[in-house]
Every structure is written in C-alpha cells, then in structure tokens.
A and B are shown apart, each in its own frame.
Chain A
Amino acid sequence: MDAIKRYVRSPAAVLGLVLLLGIIAMAISAGHVYPRDPLALAGRPLIWPFSNPRFLLGTDNSGRDIAAQIFYGARISLLIGGAATLIAIAIGILVGALAGFYGGWVDTVLMRITEAFQTLPNFVLLLVLVAVFGSTLTTVTIAVGVVSWPAPARLTRAEFLSLRNREFVQAGRTLGMKDAQLILGEILPNALPPVIVYASVVMAVAILLESALAFLRLSDPNVASWGNLIGLGRDVLRVQWYVSAIPGIAILVTVLAVSLVGQGLNDALNPRLRGR
C-alpha cells in the first residue's frame, strides 16, 4: 500500500518505529530478563552504574535495581500511555461525533462542556482528581485520560461537521439508514484517520503527565514506573543524579518514538504532501 511505502521512505519515521518496537520488546521481555520483583531490595542503595556487574545501571535510594525498573517501567508507561489514550479517544470520539452529527442544542451543550474542560488548566484538574480519587495506577490512568479528551473531541467534531453533508451520507439517508448506522458505518471510518494520528500526541502527553504526577509524588508507589524513579531521584539529585537522569532519558526516548511514529503516519496518510 502507498501509505506504508510513504512511511518507510522517511528515516525519522522508521527510527521512531524501531525505537517504539524496542521499548515494547523491553516491556514484554522484562519478566524473563529480570525475573525478580523489580521493587524488591536488590543490593545496597545508590550504587553507581557500570561499577557493579550485577547492577548494570546501578541501584536507587531504596536499594532497587535501576535496570530492572527501566524494563518493567516500560510496561507501565506503555500501559498508562495506551490506556489513557484509548479513554481520551473513546470519550472524544463519542462527544465529537454526537456534537458534529446532530448539531443544534446537542452541539451547543457538548461544546460548552468541552470548552469547560479545555479552559480549566488540565494539570490542575489532574491534581484535583488524584487528590479525590487517590494515587493508584487505575485512577491515575483514568484521570490522565479524562483530562485529555477535549482535543480529540474537537477534531472529531470538525471532521463530522464537514462530512455529514457529503453525498454518500445523503445517499445513506435516502436508503433509510438509521442515525447509528450512518455514524458508525459511514462517517466514522472516514473521520478516524486524523484522530488516530492525533492519538500519538495524546499518548506522548499522557506519558509526560504521569511522570509529572510521579515527580510530585502523587503517582502509584507500588509499581515500577519511570516517573516514580525520577521523583525518588530528586532527593539525591546532586551526587547520584543518574537515578533521575536514566528514567528521564527513557521517557524522552519513548515520547520521541511515539511522536516520530505519529508524524510519520501523518505524513504518510496526508495526500497533500504527495510529490515532495
């Protein structure tokens, strides 16, 4: 297919894909490479990277193996990134589709709600949600998803607004198709591509939001996440800066990978850039 060919022609996009696959590989193989609980006491705290063959990346201030936490942390970041993105996209598509398709007062009400969420600084809302519902993995994921849905909603709505008056939709109507069929069967498949591409942005932001929460010590302490490690490393930043630096780089690479893939998809699926 054309799109795939266009995608692989861009070195940046390929790099992104390779990195992302690498991170996914880390997540999958974590159990094999590091069979012990990554949060268990592995050795003395604050061992430097490369100084002890048992701990390739050293240990953190609780005596836990940093390399193990990087591997297992990949799971958490991908999980939170993925799940939160799914939640945000799902809510966004629902709201946007209904608003764009029906228009009128449905649109007005839904857009007011969307505007409300967008006007409220999303990090403040995140803080409030975490203060109310706690800091477990589930609540953090849902909270991040909940603060991220307005942009996909607007995007979907814009697509629906432009597509709902097209001929194929009119045709469907004359054929007696019900609203639900029209929305799900006809319009949505055409509206999805830009939203899917935007999903990469949502995912990148979701990963960054979770790490910011962990930095403020508001995330789930019972899982090995990169953000938690950065937060922990804050206390030893001056000398053992690697405790914060290593997971920071991991986040950077992941977000980079996701963004590159998203950009690659955008360029590949966007016909207007053809011929460059």
Chain B
Amino acid sequence: MRILSLAGRRLAASIPTLVLILIGVFLLLQFAPGDTVDAMMAQMGGGDAATARELRRFYGLDLSVPAQLGNYLWRLIRLDLGFSSIYGKPVATVILERLPPTILLMTASLSFAFFFGLVFGVIAARQFNKWPDTLISTLGLIFYATPSFWFGLMAIVVFSIYLQWLPAGGFEDIGAVQSGVFRILDIARHLILPTLTLGLIFLAIYLRIMRASMLEVLNLDFVRTARAKGLDETRVVTRHVLRNAMLPMVTLIGLQAGTMLGGSVVVESVFSLPGLGRLAYESVIQRDLNTLLGIVFVSALLVIVVNFIVDLLYARLDPRISMEG
C-alpha cells in the first residue's frame, strides 16, 4: 500500500515535467519546415495542390497552432493519444505494436551491461593496478569510445556475411511460422547482435562506475573492521562491499534509461528492428506530430517508472536512505 501511495505521489509530482516536455516538443516541431502532408507528398512521388489542401484539412493542420495544441492537450487528458498520420491508426495502437522489440532490446542490453559491468568491475577493483585491471579498464574505454553504429555495421559484416552465424537483421524469421519455444529462440537469435551493439557502451560505463565505487568502499572503515575481524575476503566482498558499491550502479540505471532509448534509434535502424526508436525517427522525418508526442510521452513515463523502481531498490540497499526524504 505504501508503495502504491508513493507511486501515486511520484507520478503526480512528475506531471508538470511531462506537460512541459510535451508542450515544448509540440511548439518546437511547429517550426520545422514542411508538415506531414509535405512528407506524404514526398513519399507518393507526386501530387497536386488540391490534394494537399484536402489532406491538410483532413489532418486538422489548417487550424491555428494554439488551437491544435489545445486540442492535443484536451485529448491527452482523456488519455487519447490521437491518430497517426503515417499509419492511419490510433497512436496508442502503433506504439503498443512497436513497444515489445524496444523493451526486449533495452532489457537485454541493460541486463548484459549491468551483469558484465558488475563482474568485470569487481575483478578490476580486486586486481587494482595489476594487469587484469589494466586490460579490463582499457577494453572498457575502447568500448565506450566506439561509435555504436559503426560497431553494429562491422558486426553484421563479420558475423552475418562472412561467418554466417547470425541473421543480418529483422526481429524474427518470417518465412517459417514458429510458435512457443522456437519463436523465443528465433527472436533471441535475432537480438544477439543488436543487444551487443547497444549494450557495449553501457557496459563500459557500468564497468567504470563499479570499479570506482568498489575502490572507494573497499577502503572504508567498516570493511577494514570486517577484515580485522578475520572474515574471509570473498565474504567481505559479497556481503558488505557489493551492497554498498552497487548504489551508484543502480542510480545510473535511472539516468541511462533515456539515453538508451536514444541509442536504440541508431541500433534499430542498422538492424531493421521494428521498435520505438526507429518509429521516433520516422515520425520526426514525416512530421507525424501525434506519434512523436505519443512516443515522447511513453518514453518519459518509462523513465519515470524506472527511476521510481530504482529509488525503491536504493532504499532497500541502503537502509539509511528513507523514501520520503
């Protein structure tokens, strides 16, 4: 119950932020040259002025900007995300269709980055300034510095074309109709390279943070006390150090949620994944305001939810921190 009321309060506190974002993006896009009808004409390969006028009236683009904004906000209050001009479907439907690949990709990348970041960060900290540490830290930096799209393209060339181990793109195999376990395995196979590509940078970040955090904690009084008590090193690490060192890692998840969605735009485009990132890119190019705002709304909600969960976890990890504070 407490959690629900906390969640409710957190959501209420975030509403001004959400509204600010939506209004901001809406107004910003008004200044973009061309509207969704121009983009449509570009796609059609031709069109005349009468058609254009008709379409503008159809999409409600002939109203004034404040009127359009007002309409949008009024619909939003009733939780109606509007109609997508690209897809001819309600925005909510479009987003729900494209949500699974993105969620899967982000969860997989996050888990991959967090887990391996943790493991290697601990190893590096334990072997501080010895060669494993240098190796891991150097690799970490190289991963961090590698442009993700470049890595993705090279990965396709190596693993899909030369070695032919993994598919070159797409979400699943369309030719064969699969279900159940086979479908899951097929999707998993398609997501290996994208996960690696998206996760690599975050792996580097988590690695660094974990290592730095471990180093700090390993030096604190209570650890020295535990060692003095004669506790075995591994126990010291797992029971005392890890718990405290993980705090910054957990915070980072919250901060990185938004960045990850941004990074997925490029990864989804390289690997032809039907996710929210590419949808966002398309809706900017095609000036589909409703869809873009819908995505912004959903991703903002996602970030808020993730941050909330992170705060809950944080409180559990560090009893000194109270949720109300």
Contacts and interface: CB of A to CB of B under 8 A. Distances in A.
The reply to whether A and B meet directly (CB within 8 Å) is yes
Interface of A: 12, 112-113, 115-116, 118-129, 131-133, 204, 208, 211-212, 215-216, 230, 234, 237-238, 241, 244-245, 248, 251-256, 259-260, 272-273, 276
B43 to A, nearest CB: 16
B159 to A, nearest CB: 14
Contact of B28 (A112, A118, A129, A212): A129
Nearest to B254: A118
B309 interface: no
A234 B157 CA distance: 12
A238 B157 contact: yes
A238 B141 CA distance: 27
Nearest to B146: A252
8 contacts: A12-B138, A115-B17, A123-B263, A125-B25, A128-B32, A252-B146, A256-B142, A276-B129
Contact of B17 (A116, A255, A259): A116
Nearest to B307: A119
B29 A211 contact: no
A210 to B, nearest CB: 10
Contacts of B169: none
B266 A212 contact: yes
Q: How large is the interface on B (under 10, 10 to 19, 20 to 34, 35 or more residues)?
A: 35 or more
Interface in B129-161: 129, 134, 137-138, 141-142, 144-150, 153-154, 157, 161
Contact of B147 (A113, A208, A234): A208
Contacts of B16: 112
Given A112-B17, A113-B20, A215-B266, A121 B261 contact: yes
B145 A259 contact: yes
Nearest to B20: A116
Nearest to A205: B259
Nearest to B161: A238
Contact of B153 (A112, A119, A244, A254): A244
B305 to A, nearest CB: 11
B304 A116 contact: no
B170 interface: no
Given A212-B149, A252-B145, A245 B296 contact: no
B300 interface: yes
List the 4 closest pairs (A to B, CB-CB), nearest first: A123-B262, A255-B145, A248-B150, A121-B262
